[in-house]
A and B are shown apart, each in its own frame.
Chain A
Amino acid sequence: MFKGYDLAQIHLIFHPMWSANVYLTYAERFEIIPQSTSYGSTTRGICPDPVTGQYVVKRSTRANGSRLGDVIPLLQARIPAPLVPRYGVRADPKLTSRNSLEYSAEFYLNRFFNKELYYFIL
């Protein structure tokens, strides 16, 4: 689990037309897939993939299989954190930059996206 943070996809940014002056999001969570603790090791832990140095993540789901989403205040957002599809042995040819978040099952959390994210995840 991410310590102190949830990796989440923002699906709605809104303000309920009501007395509360607040921006909210509907956000769906991802979770880390445990990886080998070192290259060649069979021990797995909450650590980055030893080859790429990237965390591998997948969508979290509820017991009924639906995606795990909730309404969360926008001000809880800390930093953008782009994902990169993890192709596996062979990339699915139907993947494009505009559908890969829907068609892929596993992703790398791309810490190399920028310096701030790199230091943040480290």
Chain B
Amino acid sequence: MHPLGKCPFAPSDNASTPELHDDNPDDGVSDATDDHEDDQLNILGWDSSQPDLFARAAQLSANITPSTPLPFRTLSTETTAFQLNFHPSLSNITVDEAAVRFKLPDLRPALADYIQRSRDLRSPVLKIGQRRSSPPDAMLPFTHLQVWYSVRMQMRSNDATGLTDPQRVSALPVTDDWPFGRYNTVLLSNGMALGPGLGGSFLLLFSVRF
């Protein structure tokens, strides 16, 4: 089904990666480790190996085949690379089911507003907190979602390797272990000119690399 074979996009140091660790969830191989990567994390949630997700994202988009899953499971911006498991955690859930499961009563109108705004804007960089203009029962051009419980993020860094360790960001609904779910926090670009972080006027250390 996925003829890409084992690790076509892996960096050369991949041989040192422990077998159990599915370092390459977009390799087209559905192995048992896809959903057990947390087993390999230490207490701070860091992965023990350090792949180059930026390079992998570039290779992936340059070597697209008919069996490459879309959207690409590894992708990047200038500053941040993202990797999702080959298999979604929920492969086929309706919008309304997701709204219940994740306790997001305004998911449907939020999606409708997103679609509206991304059509209206020339550059679809959106920000949180716009007026909710769609009704609760807004029509959507799709009915189902694929959902992932986590994504790995890797950032450019100013240390020797130039990369941070990938870090897992979770969006896990309620489980026995997580009675309120596990929803991590991030900084999201909100469409203003990218510049210093939270209000300073210094030059970003990251930015000098580009």
Interface residues of A in 66-122 (CB under 8 A from B): 66, 68-83, 98-99, 101-102, 109, 114-116, 119-122
A115 to B46, CA, bound (A): 14
Interface set, chain A 1-59, CB cutoff 8 A to B: 1-18, 21-30, 32, 46-47, 55
Query: Is A122 a contact of B104 with CB atoms below 8 Å?
Result: no
Give the segment of B17-25, B48-56, B127-135 that binds chain A.
B127-135
Contacts of B77 in A (CB 8 A): 75
Q: Which 7 A-B pairs have the closest CB atoms?
A: A71-B114, A18-B142, A29-B128, A5-B187, A4-B192, A102-B180, A21-B71
B86 within 8 A of A: no
Classify chain B's interface size.
35 or more
Please, how many angstroms separate the alpha-carbon atoms of A5 and B1 in the complex?
A: 41
The reply to whether B128 and A69 contact each other, CB–CB distance below 8 Å, is yes
Contact indicator A17/B142 (Cβ below 8 Å): yes
Nearest chain B CB to A60 CB, angstrom units? 6
The stretch among B6-14, B33-41, B156-164 that forms the contact with chain A is: B156-164
Check A15 against B188 for contact (C-beta < 8 Å).
no
Chain B at the A interface: SS class: loop
| Chain A contacts to B: CB under 8 angstroms | 1-18, 21-30, 32, 46-47, 55, 60, 62, 66, 68-83, 98-99, 101-102, 109, 114-116, 119-122
Indicate with 1 or 0, residue by residue over B59-97, a CB within 8 angstroms of chain A CB atoms: 000000000001100010101101010001000100000
**How many angstroms between the C-alpha atoms of A114 and B150 in the bound complex?**
20
If the complex has contacts A16-B142, A116-B155, are A70 and B124 also in contact, measured as CB distance less than 8 A?
no
Chain B: which residue is nearest A28 at the CB level? Answer: B128
Are B147 and A13 in touch, CB under 8 angstroms? yes
Contact A70 B113 (CB under 8 A): yes
